Amino acid sequence: MAQILVIHTGGTIGMAMGPDGLAPSPGLVERALADLGADATVLAFDPLLDSADIGPAAWNRMIAAVADWRGAGVLITHGTDTMAFTGAALSAALCGVALPVVLCGSMQPLGVGGDAEANLALALQAVETAAPGVWLAFAGKLMPGAGLVKHDSHAADAFRVVPQVADVGPFGPRYFADLRLAVLTLSPGIPAAMLAASLAELDGAVLRVFGAGTMMGDPAILAALQGAIARGCRLRAVSQCEAGGLEAGAYAAGAAIWQAGVENGGVETPEMALVRLWLSLRP
C-alpha cells in the first residue's frame, strides 16, 4: 500500500466499554491499522470525539488536513450519528479534490466481532482504488459522501444514499465560518411565536417543509418567515420526504413559501442543504 493519511476523529469504531458505556479508547484504531498492514500517517483528534460533538470546527480541521496532504488517499474514521452531515460538508468543501477521501465508521467497536474490521478493511481498499472524491465505506458498499441518510440506528447496513446534484469547479478547499445556522422542521400546530423566536437567533436556516413543497396557511407562520428574510436571514427549503425533492408551483399551499423568498433546495437532503447554505454565507 502507498502511504495514506488517517484522520481519526473518534466514533464507535474506536470505542471500548467503560463504566458509563462506550467511550473513545486511544490507540484502538492505530492497532487495527497496523494489524491490517496499513502504511499510514495517523492524525488523531485529542480528545477523540463522539460524532454528536462533530461540527464546523471539526470539519475545518479535516478539510485543512486533506488540503495539506501530499501522499495517497485519506481515510477518516468517524461516528455514524453525524456521518451524513460530515459527508455533505466534505463533499462540498473539497469539491474537485484529486484523491479519494474515504469516511469509515461502524455500528460496533473494533474487537467485538461486529462490523468494524470489515468496514475498516473496505475503507483501506477504497483509499487505494476509488476515484477522487468523498466516499463512505460501510456494510460492504462504497457510497458517495453527498446525500447520505442514516436510516437505521442499530443495523449494520445503516446507510443509504439520496442522489444529489453534484458540486462542480476546480479544487480549492472551502471552510465553514462562525455562523448561526440550524435545520428547522414544520409540524402541524407549530407555534408561530416559537418559529419566529428561533429564526431571530439565526443567520440562516434549512426549513423542512411538507411533501413536494407545502406549508400550513397560518398567516403568522408566513409572517415569521417573511420577517426573518427581511432582516437578512437566509432560508432554504427541503422536503420532509427522504426522496423526490421539492417542486415549486406544484401546490397552491406552497406558493407562499416561494413568494416569501425562501430558496428551493430541490432534492437536497437537509444535511446537504445546511452545508451549501453555510458555505454560501459570509460572516
Q: Name, in order, each residue with C-beta under 8 angstroms of 177's C-beta and a sequence gap of 6 or more.
A: 56, 278, 281, 282, 283
* β strands within 108-163, DSSP E: 133-138, 141-144, 148-150, 159-161
What digits encode the pLDDT tens for the residues 166-208? 998 899 999 999 999 999 999 999 999 999 999 999 999 999 9
Q: Which residues participate in catalysis according to the annotation?
A: 12
Average pLDDT over residues 202-225: 96
Residue 2 is predicted with a pLDDT of: 66
CA dist 261 and 51 (Å) reads: 34
Average pLDDT over residues 52-76: 97
> Taking the mean position of all CA atoms in its chain, how far away is CA 17?
26
Q: What is the average pLDDT score of the chain? A: 95
- State the pTM of this model: 0.95
What digits encode the pLDDT tens for the residues 227-270? 999 999 999 999 999 999 999 888 888 899 999 999 999 999 99
Residue with cell 449494520: 156
**149 contacts 239 by C-beta, under 8 angstroms:** no
Domains of the chain, each with CATH number or no CATH = 4-161 (3.40.50.1170), 181-280 (3.40.50.40)
What digits encode the pLDDT tens for the residues 13-57? 999 988 888 888 899 999 999 999 999 999 999 999 999 999 999
